Amino acid sequence: MHIKDISISSFTRSADGKLVQGDVVFLISDGGGEGDQRLKLSCETPFSPRLRSDAALIGSAIAKLRRLPGVRSGAERLTFEPGMRPLATQRPMDRATGTG
């Protein structure tokens, strides 16, 4: 699964201020010439003054992608557009390949 772009929509903070919520949208290259697809994941994560909220949401969404059956089994890998550095991930990025 090759990620070409990441954006966030519907970004909000809970009324009590403890959570941030939003939809993380991934632009995914099909690889088969069929065109790009968009995948939207709704995420919620605890608010932290030490971490950018958008970074926390992206990290949560990437963690969800890693739980997809094909990625979890190792049949498919997450890759990112050259130069793209997702803002927060649950695991360090592989610097040589840009994959998580």
Q: What SS3 string covers 44-62? A: EEECCCCCCHHHHHHHHHH
What does pLDDT average to over the chain?
Answer: 82
> Once rounded to an integer, what is the mean pLDDT over residues 2-30?
91
70 has pLDDT over 60: yes
The confidence score (pLDDT) of residue 63 equals: 92
Of residues 17, 84, 81, the one with CA closest to residue 49: 17
> Once rounded to an integer, what is the mean pLDDT over residues 14-29?
93
**Does residue 62 lie within any of the structural domains?**
yes
The confidence score (pLDDT) of residue 32 equals: 65
Provide the phi-psi class of 12: left if phi over 0, else alpha when psi is between -120 and 50, else beta.
beta
How many distinct structural domains can be found in the chain? 1
**Does residue 68 lie within any of the structural domains?**
yes
What's the pLDDT band for 52 if we cut at 50, 70, 90? confident
Question: What is the domain range of residue 41?
Answer: 2-80
**Does residue 98 lie within any of the structural domains?**
no
Distance CA 50, CA 25 (A): 24
Measured from the Cβ of residue 94, the count of other Cβ atoms closer than 10 Å reads 11
